[in-house]
Every structure is written in C-alpha cells, then in structure tokens.
Amino acid sequence: MSTALLVLVVLLALGLLLVIVIVGIYNRLVTLKNRFANAFAQIEVQLKRRYDLIPNLVETAKGYLKHERETLEAVIAARNQAVAGLGRAAQTPTDPAAIKALNTAEAGLSGALGRLFAVAEAYPDLKANQNMMAIQEELTSTENKVSFARQAYNDAVTAYNTYKQTFPPVVVAGMFGHGQDAALLEFEDKAAIAQPPKVAF
C-alpha cells in the first residue's frame, strides 16, 4: 500500500512540476507581449508629433512651390495614410498585419517627403525661410526620437520572438495563442533624407 502511495506522491509531484513550468512559460509570454505593446505606445507619441508637423511644412512650402501642387498633395495623402495606419496599429500593436501596414504607409510618406525635399532644392528662397528651417529642424529631432523608440520596440519584439522559438516554449506557445511572430518596425533612416545629399570629390 505504501508503494502505491509513494507512486502517487511522485506522480503528483511530477504533475505539479509540469503545471509550474507551463504556467511559468505562459506568464513569460504574456509579460514579453505586454512589453512590446507598451514600447509601441512610446513610438506612437513620437510618430504622432511627426505627423502633426507635416501639415505645417506643406503650408509653409505652398507659398513657394506654386507649380508643385502634385508633390504637395502626395505628401498630404501619404501623411493621412500613415495617420490611419498608426491608428490601426495603436489599437492592436500585437497584430503583425497592422504593423506591416504601418511599415508600408511610413515608406510611402518617406518617399513623398523625399521628393518634396528634392524639389525644394531648386527654390533657394524656400530653403532660407526661417519657418521652414525651424520645421525641418524639428522634423529631424523628432525622427531621431522615432528611431530611438523604434529600436526599443524592435528589441522587445525580438526578445518575444526569440523566447517563443526556444524550447520548451515552442511546444506550448501555439496553444496559448502566441503562434504568430510579432512584426518588426522597419522604417528607412529618414535623417538622411531630410539633409541635402553630400557630394564627395
């Protein structure tokens, strides 16, 4: 009888160990997911500030770029798309599709802004405008902050994805609704675009 009891006790202990390990993995997955969701909140603040600056930029440029209406409209359109993308991503920062959509919208905005700055090269008056210079300065510093916050977000996402792919979490992650990898934020380095291209001799 006592051997039966002993077996029972051992089984109980083993079962308990398993429960403890699984609960531990689940808690860790939740923690890591919360972390990158919180990191997204940080980048959201900076991106919003960036999107708020762009209408000012266009308003200032309008007076000088009378014949470039299309370029300016493209910037505004791309900006609005990015705002919408950010709104969606902010609601579900754990959804890879939303993050990827934001990546695309951001790329569109960068392209449009790049074209605007390229066109502006031909208008020295615009480049010398105090207002324009201030906005450009603020855009650059906001973009630096965006890239810093993006780095933090990507670090957190990488930590989550890596943990999910290790053993033993890889066995149970799918069961707890952590099957999908989280998406990285991949923007271009826009600091380079805001500044005139360097010419090397």
Partner 1 sequence: MDFFEHQDVARRQTGRLVLLFTLAVALLIVAAYLVVAGVIVWSDAHRFRSVWDPQLLAAVGLGTLAVVSGGCLYKLAQLRGGGAAIAEHLGGTLLNAGNCDARGRMLLNIVDEMALASGLRSPVVYLLRDEGGINAFAAGWTAEDAVIGVTQGALERLDRDQLQGVIAHEFSHILNGDMRLNLRLVGLLHGILVLGLVGYTVLRSMRVRRIGGSRKGGGAVAAVLAIALGLIIVGFGGTLLGNLIQAAVCRQREFLADASAVQFTRNPGGIAGALKVIGSSGAGSELTSPQAGEARHMVFARGQKASLASPFATHPPLAERIRRIDPQWDGSFAPAAVAVRAAPAAPPPGGATRTAGVLDPQRVVGLVGQLSAARLAEAGSALAELPPVVTDAIGEPYGARAVVCSLILSLDASTQARQWELLAEAEPGLRDEVRRLRPSVVDLGTRWRLPLVDLCVAPLRALTPAQWEAFRALLDALIEADRRVELFEWSLRRILLRVTPVQARPGRPAPPVQDLRAVRDECALLLSSLARAGGTSPQAAFDVAARALPLSGLALLPEDRCAPERLDAALDALSALVPLRKRELIAACAAGVLADERVSVEEAECFRAVADALGCPVPPDVERLSSAARTAGR
Question: At closest approach, how far in Å is the CB of 64 from partner 1?
Answer: 26
CA distance 184 to 123: 37
Stretch that binds partner 1, among 9-17, 110-118, 123-131, 170-178 (CB under 8 A): 9-17
Q: Does 24 bind partner 1 (CB under 8 A)?
A: yes
**Minimal CA–CA distance to 36: which of 198, 199, 180, 139?**
180
Alpha helices in the chain (DSSP H): 2-62, 69-91, 96-120, 124-128, 130-165, 169-172, 191-194
Complex with partner 1: residue 24 or 124, whichever CB lies closer: 24
> What residues from 73 to 92 belong to the interface with partner 1 (CB under 8 A)?
none
Preceding amide of 196 cis, omega within 30: no
CA distance 146 to 79: 16
Complex with partner 1: residue 13 or 170, whichever CB lies closer: 13
> What residues from 129 to 168 belong to the interface with partner 1 (CB under 8 A)?
140-141, 143-145, 147-149, 151-152, 155-156, 159
Question: At closest approach, how far in Å is the CB of 60 from partner 1?
Answer: 22
CA distance 69 to 74: 9
CA distance 193 to 190: 5
Binding site for partner 1 (CB under 8 A): 1-2, 5-6, 8-9, 12-13, 15-17, 19-20, 24, 27, 31, 34-35, 38-39, 41-42, 45, 140-141, 143-145, 147-149, 151-152, 155-156, 159, 191
